[in-house]
Structure 1
Amino acid sequence: MTTHHPSSATPRAPSLSQRVVDGLSERISSGALKPGDRVPTEPVLMQEFGVSRSVVREAISRLQAGGLLRTQQGVGSFVLSPKVDMPPLQPAPGAVLKLQQKLAMLELRLSLEPEAAALAAQRRTPELLAAMEQALDDFDTQHSTGEATAEADFRFHELLAQATGNEYFSHVLRSLSSATIPRQAAARRSNSSSAKAARFGEPSPELRPGKEFTAQEHWAVLEAIRRGDAAGARAAMFMHLNNSRERMKNASR
């Protein structure tokens, strides 16, 4: 695996894949695409949005991670029925989590997510493996250009939870990951009531020195899942989360 180093390059404009995500999400929310409907094929989406195949696949993987689509190998991607809302585990939007709360949530993740990784190693599908690999490729690319990596980080963990085949893992880990993967740095830049809300994936400079270690740990988890090695995936995920907890502690000092 190639190790990337952050650069001073100017962050790119919002990704092309976001345009595809937004377009398909709007069709799903408006009812133009209903549960059970097959989304347009890759060539059709490529032509419609003027993007490459890799961009379309990234968008589809993000919609999978968001629970909007499922992909059947050799057949296509289909719209999922809306799930019954469950109460979130994290504080209400806008609430600022204290360090101790974030560490407590990471502690809870340590008791759950290694087992999710083990189940994912036993139950993963080729489509979810490809989507997880795409998320980690995106993480590496964004890190190498100095961009925010939180969206790709969150997507990897959510896809892993989906790979368990257990919707309750997905719900719990989505809530915990969204609270402990930093995406709110910009919200602290201004106390003005007119300040804009932080964009999803806002960089967290204080944690940037640990991003290369995070990338290596993510790939170790994925490789164990790819091998079908449940014990290895469990151990790799435990090490990743435990190291993340230590990095969070050190960044606060």
Structure 2
Amino acid sequence: MKTTKAVSLADELVRQLERQIDSGELPPGSRFPTEKAITDSAGVSRTVVREAFARLAARGLLESRRGSGAYVPAAARYRAFQVTPEEMQEVEDVIKLLEIRMALETEMAALAAERRTEADIATLRECLDRMAEGGDVEASVDADAAFHAAIARATQNDYYSRFMDFLGIRLVPRRAVYLRDQSDVAHRSYAKAIQRDHEGIFTAIEAGDPVAARRAARRHMQKSLERHRRMKDEAEAGPLD
């Protein structure tokens, strides 16, 4: 899976406009340059500009006013750091998120093991049972996200739950990214591997063992990282002659 030129150009334009917003060059309330002005100055097509504007709007950094143009919202300076669904379309983006989650999830699991309540254990078990049903892929992914959110709540530290929301961690990387063009057998095998990892984390948290919980969470995240890095390497290598 290779990144198209248009996507790459849109990425760069988004970064450029974000830097201008963060630096104050484009302060809250200011008007963005017109599409034509950007196409002329950046040397990109209107399609690229519109894609960049759509991404900025999704991040709360651009608002359109009918008949007037695009503006930087007043709340842009107070924006919370988050990862949007639009940013989780490529393997490279998923890898970046997983690298952040590596540190977050390991300590979160350890704290959950120390502080979890019986209600937390029941919620985690319910999430695992829903994942094990394995009937509907999206339902299973939703249960996966709920499992990680439940671990955050089990820390009894509200900042973990809030940071998870800001980071977009509830958007557990969609299996459609890793399993694109894969068979049903691959889907089932992947689901079973994830289920085993989650069972290991749950067992450690239920036992109140922070060392084992930290180790199980790290192992889970490391395996996920390795899978996606292999996929990225294979995509970059291209087909064999």
What is the TM-score when the length of structure 2 is the normalising length? 0.55
- Is residue 210 of structure 1 aligned with residue 190 of structure 2? yes
Letter in 2 for 1:244: S
- Is residue 245 of structure 1 aligned with residue 225 of structure 2? yes
Instruction: Give 1:98 deviation, angstroms.
Output: 3.1
Letter in 1 for 2:94: K
Letter in 1 for 2:95: L
Aligned pair count? 149
- Is residue 132 of structure 1 aligned with residue 112 of structure 2? no
After superposition, give the CA deviation of every residue in 1:197-224 in whole Å (9 maximum; x if it has no partner). xxxxxx9774723221110010000000
Per the alignment, in what secondary structure is the counterpart of residue 165 of structure 1?
coil
1:17 aligned residue = none
Q: Which has the higher helix share?
A: 2
Q: Distance in 1 between matches of 2:200 and 2:88?
A: 32
Letter in 2 for 1:168: Y
Structure with the greater alpha carbon radius of gyration: 2
Equivalent position to 2:150, from 130, 150, 159: 159
Contact 2:130 2:143 in 1 (8 A): yes
Contact 1:116 1:164 in 2 (8 A): yes
Alignment RMSD (CA, Å) = 2.6
What is the TM-score when the length of structure 1 is the normalising length? 0.53
- Is residue 112 of structure 1 aligned with residue 104 of structure 2? yes
Q: Distance in 2 between matches of 1:216 and 1:240?
A: 9
Taking the TM superposition and a 5 Å limit, the aligned residue runs for 1:29-178 are 87-91=80-84, 93-141=85-133, 143=134, 145=135, 147-148=137-138, 149-174=140-165, 175-178=167-170
After superposition, give the CA deviation of every residue in 1:150-195 in whole Å (9 maximum; x if it has no partner). 1000000000001011111112234342344217x4xx9xxxxxxx
Change (3 A) 1:122 1:248: same
Per the alignment, in what secondary structure is the counterpart of residue 137 of structure 2?
coil
2:204 aligned residue = 224
Letter in 1 for 2:170: S
Change (3 A) 1:250 1:140: farther
